[in-house]
Amino acid sequence: MSRNKGVIKNAGTDWQAVTIVLTTSFLEGVADSLAFPKVSTVLEKSERISTRVQRCVIINLVLFLGCLHLLDGYVVSFFYFILKTIWGWSSGQGDEPEAAKLLLQYTYNLIWVYPIYCLSFILNSVWYQDIAEDTYNLLFNGSSTRERASTNVSVISAISSKAAETTISLLLETMVALLVTGLNLVPHVGPTLSFILMCWLYALYCFEFKWSSFRWSLDKRLAFIEDRWPYFLGFGLPLSCVTVFSSRFLSSGLFAILYPAFLILATATNPEARSSESKAPFRIPIFTLPQLINKCFFFFFK
C-alpha cells in the first residue's frame, strides 16, 4: 500500500515538474515576443532598417486601413444614399437595398481593395526580406549592409536554391493556413485548435527568415518548433490575439503593420541558445499532416 502511495506521489511530482517546464517555456515565448525595447535598439542602430520599417507601416496604414475607412465611411454610404434618393429605397422596403449595398461592397473590393492587397503583398515581401537580412547582419555581423556574391555563378546558384526552398516553404505554410481555416469550422473545439495552430504558424513566419540565414532546412525548422512548442505557442500568441478578432481584410492589414516588429524580435531572440529546459518534455507533431501533403504534392508533380 505504501509502495503504491509512493508511485502516485512520484507521478504527481513528475506532472508538476512537467507543468512548470511547459508554463515557463510558454511565458518565455510571450516575454520574448513583447520585448519591444529590442526593436527600438535595432531601429536606433540602423537607419536603413528604420526607413524600411517606416515605409512598411505607412504604406500598410494607407492601403489597408485607409481603404477600409474609405469603403465604410464614404464609398458605400454615398452610393447607398444615391439609391435611396433616386429610387426611394429605404431599409424598410425589403431586401433590395441591402442586396444593392452588398453588391457595391463586392464591386469595390474587386476593382480596388483586392488589387491594393496584391500590391501591398508584393511590397511587403520585398521589405520584409530586406528588414530580416539587415537585422540579421546587424546583430550577427555587426553591420546592416549586405554583402554581395562575388560571381555570377554563385548568384545564380543562390537564387535557384532560394527559389526552390521558398516554393516548398510557401506551399507548406499554405497547407497550414488552410488547416487553420478548416479547424475554425469544427464545432466547439475547432476555433480553439485553430487559434493555437495560428500561433505556431505566426511564430514560424517570424523566425523563418532568421533560420533561412542559418541555412536550416525546412524539416529542421519545423522540428525545432515541434520540440519547443510551448515557447513558440507563447511567441505567436500576441500577434494572433491582435489579428484573430478582426475581419479578414483588417487582420491582414494589422498583421502587415505589426509583422516587421515581430520579425526583428525573432531575429534578436535566441531560443536555440537557451538551456535544455526550453525543450518541451514531449513533442507535438504540429506539422506532420501538412508535411505529408507537401511531400505527396511534390511526388506527384515533380
| Neighbour tally for 5: CB within 10 Å | 9
Give the model confidence (pLDDT) of 45-100 as tens digits: 999 999 999 988 888 887 776 766 666 666 666 766 776 676 665 555 555 556 66
* pLDDT in the model for residue 4: 45
Q: Which residues of 26-41 are buried (b: 16+ CB within 10 A; e: fewer)?
A: bebbbebbeeeebbee
Q: What angle (nearest 5°) sits at the alpha carbon of residue 30, between those of residues 28 and 32?
A: 65
* pLDDT in the model for residue 107: 75
* pLDDT in the model for residue 298: 67
The average pLDDT across 128-139 equals 91
* pLDDT in the model for residue 58: 87
Distance in angstroms between the alpha carbons of the first and the last residue of the chain = 63
* pLDDT in the model for residue 93: 52
Query: Using N-to-C axis directions, what is the helix angle for 47-60 and 36-45, rounded to 10°?
Result: 120
302: confidence class by pLDDT, cuts 50, 70, 90: low
155: confidence class by pLDDT, cuts 50, 70, 90: very low
Gap between the Cα atoms of 238 and 206, Å rounded:
12
Which residues 6+ apart lie within 8 Å of 206 measured at CB?
235, 236, 239, 259, 262, 263, 265, 266
Gap between the Cα atoms of 132 and 263, Å rounded:
7
* pLDDT in the model for residue 27: 93
The average pLDDT across 120-145 equals 82
Give the model confidence (pLDDT) of 1-41 as tens digits: 444 444 334 445 688 888 998 999 999 999 999 999 999 99
Which residues 6+ apart lie within 8 Å of 1 measured at CB?
none
Highest mean pLDDT among 68-72, 81-85, 137-141, 202-206: 202-206
103: confidence class by pLDDT, cuts 50, 70, 90: confident
* Residue 164: pLDDT over 70: no
* Whether this model's pTM surpasses 0.85: no
Highest mean pLDDT among 46-50, 113-117, 242-246: 46-50
